[in-house]
Structure formats: C-alpha cells, structure tokens
Structure 1
Amino acid sequence: MGARVTFVPDGKSIEVRPGTTILDASRKVRVQIRTRCGGKAACLMCKVRVADPAGLAPMNQNERLKLGGLEEQGYRLACQAKVVGHVIAELPEDPLKAAVRKQLERQQEEEGI
C-alpha cells in the first residue's frame, strides 16, 4: 500500500511517494495550506490536525520543539510531517473566514435574545 493524503474539509486525496511532506502533497493537489517560511518550520502557519498519526513518520526534534505540546492534540507541521501510509489531514479554518463566522454567530445570538 502506498502513501496517501486525504485533506478535510476539501475532500481531495492524492497518492504520494513515501517520505513526501503533507505540504508538498497539498501543493500537488492544489489544496491551500498557509505558510510564510517556505517549509522551514519557522512560521508555524502550516499546522494541520491528524487524527491517526500512524500514517506519518515519527516527529523530528525540530517539529516537536516548534509545536510545544500541540502534538498531543493531534497537530503536526505540514512542512515537516512525512507521509508513510494513509493520512487524513484536517486543515484549520482560514483566520479571516473564522473571524467572519464568529461575527455572524454573535449577531445571530444578539438578534435571538
């Protein structure tokens, strides 16, 4: 069985060579993962949540230090996490979309009161 990444909520999936990073896989299938450092584990913008880390190579020391405990909640850096099996990568909501969604929810609550 080859390496495969499925991106949620996009629903896109791609077969990749074992050792390919989640970030590289996302670019091949045109799934947007935000990054500012170009994949050097410096900006921490490319965090993704992985429910089952069995499809990923073990975390390197640099990634572990950068995440500072977030890995316990299932987070990995897409630029560092190397795919070795099947992985489902949950992408975080875009910050602008999240802000708009929260504002709309707040308005709905206020109107409902």
Structure 2
Amino acid sequence: MNPEIRFLPDDKKIQIKPGTTLLDASKKARVHIRTRCDGNAACLMCKVTVEDGTGLSAPGDNEKRKLGELIGRGYRLACQAKALRSCTVHVPEDPLKAAVRAQLAKQREEEQW
C-alpha cells in the first residue's frame, strides 16, 4: 500500500509512491510550500515539521548541515525528506497570509466594541 501524507493545517491527504519528496507530494495535493530554489536545499524556505519522522528517509548530510539542531525538533526540508510510510506534515503559514489573517481578526475584534 502506498503511503498517505496528510498536510496540516489544510487537512489535505494524498497517497504517493514511496520515496516521493514531501515537496512533490505537496504539489500533487495542491498544498503550497514556499520555495525559491526549486527543491535544491538552497533557500531553506520549505521547512516543515513532521509529527512522526519515522515515516521519512533519514536526513542526508546536506539537510543536516542546513537544519542543524532543528532536525531534533521535528523539522525537515520538504525538498529533501522522502516519504517511506504514512505521516502528517505541518506546513507553516505563509507570512503574508498570516498578516492578512491577523489584520482581519483585529478588525473583527474592533467591530465588536
């Protein structure tokens, strides 16, 4: 059976072939993960956290060098981490979306007064 990747906070799921990178899986699931280097581990924008990293390939030397101690806290580069088994991936909110969401929340709060 092919692994199922669940992307949060969008709660989108997709089944992929084992060995597919999380970045490629996200594209297939239509989940946006920011990147500038097109998956070459150069920009570090595709950092995600994984609930149970045991479903992923071991971090390579390049990823270890780039992320350092963050790997121990569940961070992985979506362009480098390959899914071997099912797992849940937390994608950080885009900074622009976060700013808009915060502004809208502030406006709603002000309207209540």
- Same fold by TM (over 0.5)? yes
**Structure 2 unaligned regions, length at least 5:** none
TM score, norm. by length of structure 1: 0.86
Q: Which residue of 2 aligns with 1:80?
A: 80
| Cα offsets for 1:46-97 (capped at 9, x unmatched) | 0111011011011111011111211121110000000000110001011112
AA of the residue aligned to 2:67: L
Cα separation, 1, equivalents of 2:13 and 2:24: 13
Q: How does 1:7-22 map to 2 (within 5 A)?
A: 7-22=7-22
**Structure 1 unaligned regions, length at least 5:** none
Tell me how large the CA RMSD over aligned residues is: 2.0
Q: Which runs of 4+ in 1 moved over 2 A?
A: 97-108
Cα separation, 1, equivalents of 2:20 and 2:2: 11
* Paired residue secondary structure (2:71): helix
Return the offset for 1:101. Answer: 4.5
TM score, norm. by length of structure 2: 0.86
Return the offset for 1:99. Answer: 3.1
Return the offset for 1:29. Answer: 1.3
| Cα offsets for 1:9-58 (capped at 9, x unmatched) | 11111111110000000111111111000000000000111011011011
Cα separation, 1, equivalents of 2:101 and 2:29: 27
Identity of aligned residues (%): 58
Cα separation, 1, equivalents of 2:103 and 2:44: 25
Cα separation, 1, equivalents of 2:88 and 2:50: 6
Q: Which residue of 2 aligns with 1:4?
A: 4
Return the offset for 1:2. Answer: 2.2
